[in-house]
Copies of this chain bind each other. A is one copy, B any other.
Amino acid sequence: MPKVPTIVVCIDGCEPEYLEAAVSAGAVPWFSWLKEKGTWLRALSAMPSFTNPNNLSIVTGSPPSVHGIAGNYFLDLETGQEVMMNDTRWLRAPTILEGLERTGCRIAVITAKDKLRGLLGHGLRNSICFSAECAGEADLAPWGLGPITDMVGMETPKVYSAELSTFVLAAGLEILRHAGPDIMYLSTTDYVQHKFAPGTNEANSFFATMDSCLSALDRLGAVIGITADHGMKPKVDSNGNPNAVYLQEALDELLGKGVSTVTLPITDPYVVHHGSLGSFANVYLSDGKSLHPAMRKLILMPQVMAVLTRAEAANRFELPEDRIGDLVVVANESAVLGKRREDHDLSLLDAPLRSHGGLSEQEVPLLVNRQLENIAPARRLRNFDVFDLVLNHIGPRPL
């Protein structure tokens, strides 16, 4: 049970280099203090390195093999339909938030995009749970609070904006000030990281705004754990064009049409950042004899880092076997995987493609504004250990 307000922040797409560059630039005094005095680690995210699987890993403290959310999007083998995994019926584990509420904690959950609100708030009854995207509709009446947009002093931000994330932290700060939550989970969006590289003015400025909110939360006495759902890497060729390989085209050429179905678990309704191009793909095959030819074709592609069978991928990446393909494909650090050229509207991209989903975007920050105690030396910390750290391993606040 938390003794002081305890906050977990998931900075969407926070490649560790963003923080290192902002610290080096002197743009983020609170993060600089944290790096020098606090707990400043790196950890691996769950795979695939996408938003939904990792947010659910963080709030359940478990990998996708346990909680069931293996992507933003998947092929339901029972119905043969491709579906978004936003619905709570896909969730197979209770959340830590739900358990804490049952023991009497006051919980607030704020996400940037509305797509995550349902999953993160699953099982909560008396808690606050809203998205910045739909801030105007947030109902804080149960806690006796007025409209959140008034409290923050910001309009509902645009869905493609840096302010969507800023709003999350600013709203968290107002709720900590006025409503005395025991636990907050704040989850931002990676709009800025998809567009701007670490160390750019835009990125540093984004993290500077975040820094001032986090500093204020810290001054109010909160324990703060920070991690990310995934990193972010440039995915362009030497001309600056997306370095994409179109798996459905290649497999149709090899096997004929209709034998394979490629699904991209990065897919969600918000495609402007990435054109649905990420570094992880599922391949479903309608017959067993295509497995080896498909594996061979895929592994020989220079953009492909790994091709695993369902059983291998489930075991190695801790994924639910019934929610991944017959084959799982992971792209190289500089590459992304698509279906067919015509399935990806790249005209929407207004900056060189940056994306994620693979092993090269698995390393993320794991930060706490306290010293940690009683961590077993051999323990390999993951991003989804952050609730365990801030609840069960907190030592003194550094000076």
Binding site for B on A (CB under 8 A): 44, 289, 292-293, 295-296, 299-300, 302, 305-309, 312, 316, 332-333, 359-360, 378, 380
Contacts and interface: CB of A to CB of B under 8 A. Distances in A.
Nearest to A308: B312
A303 to B, nearest CB: 11
Contacts of A295: 316
Given A299-B306, A302-B332, A292 B380 contact: yes
Contacts of A299: 305-306, 359
Tell me the number of copies of this protein: 2
Contact of A289 (B293, B359, B378): B378
A274 B40 CA distance: 45
Contacts of A312: 308, 312
A324 B380 CA distance: 27
A292 B296 CA distance: 24
Given A292-B380, A299-B305, A308-B312, 17 more contacts: A44-B296, A289-B378, A293-B380, A295-B316, A296-B359, A299-B306, A299-B359, A300-B305, A300-B333, A300-B359, A300-B360, A302-B332, A302-B333, A306-B306, A306-B307, A309-B316, A312-B312
A35 to B, nearest CB: 24
A333 B292 CA distance: 19
A113 to B, nearest CB: 30
Contacts of A360: 300
A315 to B, nearest CB: 8
Contacts of A296: 44, 359
A367 to B, nearest CB: 21
The 3 closest A-B pairs by CB, nearest first: A312-B312, A299-B359, A299-B306
Nearest to A380: B292
A293 B302 CA distance: 23
